[in-house]
């Protein structure tokens, strides 16, 4: 939450996105899976997604998006004081993905990863705001995923949902005429860890021939349970965050929900009483890109002129954990470019 008396006026001053080169349509998937374009579109709202090629990884996509964000902020890599990478598909288990991205960008600052699954970008954004308010002038935040690497290509229930991509933002202190980050709500219901996750490869179930044979290195999901919990979690998290900013849903110019399923989005928007005309949806083109989903939607709406300076933006992610993360933003009036 914004601290009373805080006058650092943090804002997003630069942003960028990156997508892999290969588009995979529903028809492409239906050639190898028992599914159809009609089923996928009706049940999810997805038409296509991007899948990384062998030479594209979470770190390469992150670096591409980050480079664009730094340039757009009118900065150089040396100006970045900290980088936070949100991902649930890390470059490798160790070292953290930020090490690879920072090396690629020529950063000399510290970095760390956040894994809050699809809520990761908003978590990272709010941590970045805290760090910026506490004296780091420019914090780089990246949400980057290669979900195609952890999806079982033969599981029609999950293979149709996910896509790859990245989005990045520079959060700067003293960057706007008014405070841009109005409030937040971060949550996690750890009783729901079993409904969505990757079982193998960690401390509880190290990778072995057995886990490979059983497919435990792939995502497993109870789709209906995630669906039900997600709608409730999004609605409650958005309400808490808006309350903290002394705002209501009527004050929201743009709702940026995590792009998981059009039916989850419409159900949450309807319960919040936010019209779909004020809700940004782009999952038809990208699928569920996890921590890249909110930046891909937010920055698309900024770049095409829907979101304007002064607009109130409600961004809400939910994901494995079950995590939720909401930011209430006022889109900045001035950025470093225009100062």
DSSP string over 215-235: TTTSEEE-HHHHHHHHHHHHH
Beta-bridged to residue 330, according to DSSP, are 312
> HSE (CB half, 13 Å, CA atoms) of 79?
19
Q: How far is the CB of 118 from ligand UT7 (least distance, A)?
A: 4
**Interatomic CA distance for residues 263 and 147, integer angstroms:** 21
Residue 310 CB neighbour total at 10 angstroms? 12
> For residue 218, what are the contacts with CB-CB under 8 A and spacing of at least 6?
150, 151, 152, 155, 158, 198
Q: Give catalytic residues, as residue numbers.
A: 118, 258, 288
Q: How far is the CB of 263 from ligand UT7 (least distance, A)?
A: 7
Is residue 141 within a helix (H) or strand (E), and if so which, with residue range? strand 138-146
Q: How far is the CB of 312 from ligand UT7 (least distance, A)?
A: 25
102 or 319: whose CB is closer to ligand UT7? 319
87 or 138: whose CB is closer to ligand UT7? 87
Which residue spans within 5-126 are E strands per DSSP? 11-18, 22-25, 48-51, 82-86, 110-114
Q: How far is the CB of 165 from ligand UT7 (least distance, A)?
A: 14
Residues of this chain that interact with ligand UT7 (CB under 6 A) are: 35, 39-40, 43-44, 118, 156-157, 160, 196, 221, 223-224, 226-227, 230, 260-261, 288, 319
Residue whose C-beta lies closest to ligand UT7: 223
Do the bridges between strand 323-330 and strand 196-198 make them parallel or antiparallel, or are there none, so unpaired? Answer: unpaired
Q: How far is the CB of 71 from ligand UT7 (least distance, A)?
A: 30
127 or 292: whose CB is closer to ligand UT7? 292
176 or 237: whose CB is closer to ligand UT7? 237
For residue 25, the 8-state DSSP code is E
99 or 160: whose CB is closer to ligand UT7? 160
């Amino acid at each position: 939450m914004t601290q009373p008396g805080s006058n650092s006026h943090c804002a997003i001053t630069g942003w960028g996105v990156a997508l892999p080169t290969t588009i995979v349509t529903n028809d492409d998937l239906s050639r190898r899976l028992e599914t159809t374009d009609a089923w996928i579109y009706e049940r999810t709202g997805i038409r296509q997604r991007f899948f990384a090629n062998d030479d594209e990884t979470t770190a390469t996509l992150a670096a591409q998006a980050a480079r664009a964000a730094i340039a757009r902020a009118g900065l150089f890599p040396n100006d970045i004081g900290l980088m936070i990478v949100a991902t649930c598909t890390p470059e490798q288990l160790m070292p953290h993905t930020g090490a690879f991205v920072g090396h690629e960008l020529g950063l000399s600052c510290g970095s760390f990863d956040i894994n809050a699954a699809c809520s990761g970008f908003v978590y990272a954004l709010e941590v970045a705001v805290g760090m910026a308010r506490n004296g780091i002038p420019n914090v780089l935040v990246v949400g980057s995923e290669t979900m195609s690497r952890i999806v079982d290509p033969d599981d029609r229930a999950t293979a149709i949902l996910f896509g790859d991509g990245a989005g990045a933002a520079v959060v700067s202190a003293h960057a706007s005429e008014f405070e841009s980050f109005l409030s937040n709500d971060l949550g996690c219901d750890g009783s729901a860890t079993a409904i969505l996750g990757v079982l193998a490869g960690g401390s509880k179930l190290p990778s072995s021939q057995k886990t490979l044979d059983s497919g435990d290195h792939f995502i497993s999901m109870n789709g209906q349970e995630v669906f039900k919990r997600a709608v409730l979690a999004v609605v409650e998290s958005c309400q808490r965050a808006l309350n903290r900013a002394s705002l209501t849903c009527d004050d929201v110019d743009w709702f940026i929900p995590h792009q998981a399923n059009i039916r989850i989005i419409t159900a949450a928007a309807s319960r919040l009483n936010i019209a779909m005309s004020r809700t940004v949806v782009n999952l038809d083109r990208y699928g569920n890109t996890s921590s890249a989903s909110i930046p891909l939607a937010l920055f698309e709406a900024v770049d095409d002129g829907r979101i304007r300076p002064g607009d109130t933006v409600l961004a809400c992610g939910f994901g494995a954990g079950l995590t939720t993360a909401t930011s209430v933003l006022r889109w900045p009036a001035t950025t470093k470019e225009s100062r």
